[in-house]
Chains A and B, each alone.
Chain A
Amino acid sequence: MIDLSVHQLALNFGGVRAVDGVTFSLHEGEIHGLIGPNGAGKTTTFNCVTGFYRPTGGTIRFREREITHLRPDQIARLGIARTFQNVQLFRSMSALDNILVAKHSQMRTGILAEALALRLVRRQERMARGEAEELMEFLGLMGIQRQTAGNLPLGSQKRLELGRALALEPKLLLLDEPASGLNTSETQVLAQLLLKIRDRFKLTVLLVEHDMGLMMNISDTITVLNFGRKIAEGTPRDVQNDPEVVKAYLGENSGAERR
């Protein structure tokens, strides 16, 4: 079954075609990689899918429902969670509260009931708290629940951001460069964790990476973008040997040298 389908997606930034007719689809349960050199349009595509950018053309469908022009919070509530390229936590809130914010749309309490702290509110709070702590335990974040998110080391912050996305109980998880800032062994650990997450939460994952390493290991399918266009798609092995892809990556390097 197809989870997400992006069809002829286009976005212009003042004459620059950041994304130019990109089409791809994600099958349920797969880890799908989106790669390409700098400025290829990966993050732009990503921001269109999550509603942060309004595409100028094309359609995006999530489980047969068109989401092209929805707001980010509406898309989130449909079950698409994301992380950001540079960790974006609620820095002065506790680690636990960061995760609880994501439980927002699962809780069914009115403001009046909250103001009076009715029993129904307290029960839902307890439940959400329990689930959040369970999630933190799964991610190895126990013991830091009450710590201020902005004071945590970067590794924990990245995990916390991942945990926050998972707390939305998404069907589709979008990760924007989750390996950036990590060394090789940390990237290995992350790869294992992502596979574990996919299986445990029965997720479809869209992964944006600049670097090939992580992608080749865990992706089922890879879409390669260059200058806003799709230039290749297939299994990691196919993509790696694709002449267009090789040219895109090497071409970028030689271009840089010439300058």
Chain B
Amino acid sequence: MGMKTLERLKGLPLVVVGVGLLALPSFVDNYILYVMTRLFVYVLVALGLNLLTGYTGQVSLGHAAFFAIGAYTAAVLAESWRWPSVLCVVAAAVFTAVVGYLLGLPCLRLSGLYLAMATLGFTLIVQEMLLQLAVITHGSEGMKVRPASILGFTFDSDYRKYFLLLVVTTSMLIVARNLIRGRTGRAFLAIRENERAAEAMGVNLAQYKTIAFAISALYTGLAGALSAFLVGFLDPQEFSVFLSIQFITIIILGGLGSLLGSVLGAGFLIILPELLAGLDVWQALVYGLLMVLTIIFMPYGLSGAIRRHAYRWLGVGVEPIVPRRLGH
């Protein structure tokens, strides 16, 4: 009946968005393409962070550090070692994943706010290392990175960068969805929901928490590496605790434990300031106010609100339950 038709129409918004994103470059100027490309980078990070924090329930303020590690690894390999771009990006993502795994090991003993503190410390350490290891990172001078190229095809225009990021981000979104729907995703959720019960069902907590750290770091390192090539310059000041807080803000506003939330949250944080640019001095104020209102009226983020209303008014999906909040 009506409900079944609605369920079947669930794929429709996806198709519309997909066509829209493919057609977008024909209609807008370079600046908007640049903003969109930045948005894709943030979506990648938000997907990674949500896998760890939203799905597995492990809070992290260390993602600016993962982002920096990905960016600097790619930059150093490309500029100092002259590696091909693809290898730089892949190596940076894998290396960041290894670092994430290693950070996950001592973090097994922590949860909630304590875990947040420890990962925050990690961000401070990595940023200081970027400044101190000047032999490799060029310290406070920063690093220049030339555009990426694959087999002679150089991603030097906003147009080309846009499509590169569109393809990578979409693929990684699908990968995240596959993981979430399978055995690994259920283990993550089970850990978030109830560690004791998860253990009693044969889920190795240490193994899956560290895997969550590694996958999350992989996404963030990948985003960092791509961002290095897109922006063309690395400034160590960028990778501060504030960036980590921005990442967390994205997934909380968008919706914890929701892939759609990662996308919407990144959209909120990246696109909204652009829309408010005309407000001049009032911009920060209005932006902050919107953030406060959003979290008050949509405590489970934009995706949580959408899910709630879809169930209530259209009968789509299932009755949502109040998920646990961060740092419970």
To the question of whether A and B form a pair in one complex, the answer is yes
Q: Among the listed A71, A81, A101, A146, which residue makes an inter-chain contact with B190, where contact means beta carbons less than 8 Å apart?
A: A101
CB distance from B304 to the nearest CB of A (A): 11
Q: Tell me if A205 is interfacial: C-beta within 8 Å of chain B.
A: no
Q: Tell me if A168 is interfacial: C-beta within 8 Å of chain B.
A: yes
Is A97's CB under 8 angstroms from B186's CB? yes
Residues of A within 8 A of B205 (CB): 73
Is B318's CB under 8 angstroms from A102's CB? no
A109 to B183, CA, bound (A): 8
Is A125's CB under 8 angstroms from B182's CB? yes
Is B184's CB under 8 angstroms from A114's CB? yes
Is B202's CB under 8 angstroms from A107's CB? no
Stretch at the interface among B160-168, B193-201, B266-274: B193-201
Q: Tell me if A88 is interfacial: C-beta within 8 Å of chain B.
A: yes
- Return the chain A residue nearest B205 by Cβ: A73
Is A117's CB under 8 angstroms from B197's CB? no
A103 to B182, CA, bound (A): 11
Q: Tell me if A215 is interfacial: C-beta within 8 Å of chain B.
A: no
- Return the chain A residue nearest B189 by Cβ: A93
- Return the chain A residue nearest B211 by Cβ: A111
Residues of A within 8 A of B321 (CB): 91-92, 148, 150-151
Is A109's CB under 8 angstroms from B201's CB? no
Is A104's CB under 8 angstroms from B187's CB? yes
A110 to B204, CA, bound (A): 15
**Residue contacts A-B, CB under 8 angstroms, 27 given:** A52-B200, A71-B199, A72-B196, A72-B200, A73-B202, A76-B200, A84-B200, A89-B197, A91-B194, A92-B193, A92-B322, A92-B323, A94-B318, A102-B202, A103-B183, A104-B187, A104-B201, A109-B182, A111-B179, A111-B211, A114-B184, A116-B175, A146-B318, A148-B319, A148-B320, A151-B319, A151-B321
Residues of A within 8 A of B (CB): 50-52, 71-73, 76-77, 81-82, 84, 88-94, 97, 100-105, 107, 109, 111, 114-117, 121, 125, 146-148, 150-151, 164, 168
9 extra A-B contacts, CB within 8 A, seeds A71-B204, A114-B184: A88-B194, A88-B200, A91-B321, A92-B320, A102-B202, A111-B211, A115-B178, A146-B318, A148-B319
Which 9 pairs across A and B sit closest by C-beta, in order of nearness? A90-B193, A76-B202, A105-B202, A72-B199, A114-B182, A88-B197, A117-B178, A148-B321, A150-B321
